[in-house]
Amino acid sequence: MAVREILILPDKRLRHVAEPVKKIDAGIRKLIDDLFETMYDAPGIGLAATQIGVKKRVFTVDLAKKEEPKNPQVFINPQIVWSSDEKATHEEGCLSIPEFYSEVERPVQVKVKYLDLEGEPREVEANGLLATCLQHEIDHLYGILFIDHISKLKRDRVIKKFAKAVKRAS
């Protein structure tokens, strides 16, 4: 297990579309271990493989609060198969866009099909924070960031701010 570097906006690799996992082998298991270690170290509640520069359709989630026991969840080749017409707005943040938060409107409920760590097909119906988190992480697998769901004006400001920070650091 290793803590990996999390890609930060405006890194172009965040816009890559992930490829399906064909086989759950030692390499994928190591990737998942690294995702968990990196996510917990950050700390965050979700992390997609694309956020560490790996173009695989995998992400990890743990919504347990600090005082609760960990509840690690793995989603391999996830896809939203249903979403509610009803929408809700939640404040979102992202480990790839540190210290920026914004209200994002998404469906209240989703049904997601995925493979578990053993390669078994699973399905979860989610609402609340889990529904928001699943949609956010699945977006990452398509190269979509949560700022793509906010106004163009706000999005352009955020991108400009992070691009300036990169220039200053180099």
- CB–CB of 158/146 below 8 Å? no
Per the annotation, the verdict on 137 as an active-site residue is yes
41-56 residues labelled b (16+ CB within 10 A) or e (exposed): eeebbbbbbbbbebeb
Cis amide leading into 43 (omega within 30): yes
Output phi, psi for 66, to 5 deg: -50, -40
Q: 127 has which bridge partners?
A: 109
- CB–CB of 55/49 below 8 Å? yes
- Residues acting as catalytic residues: 137
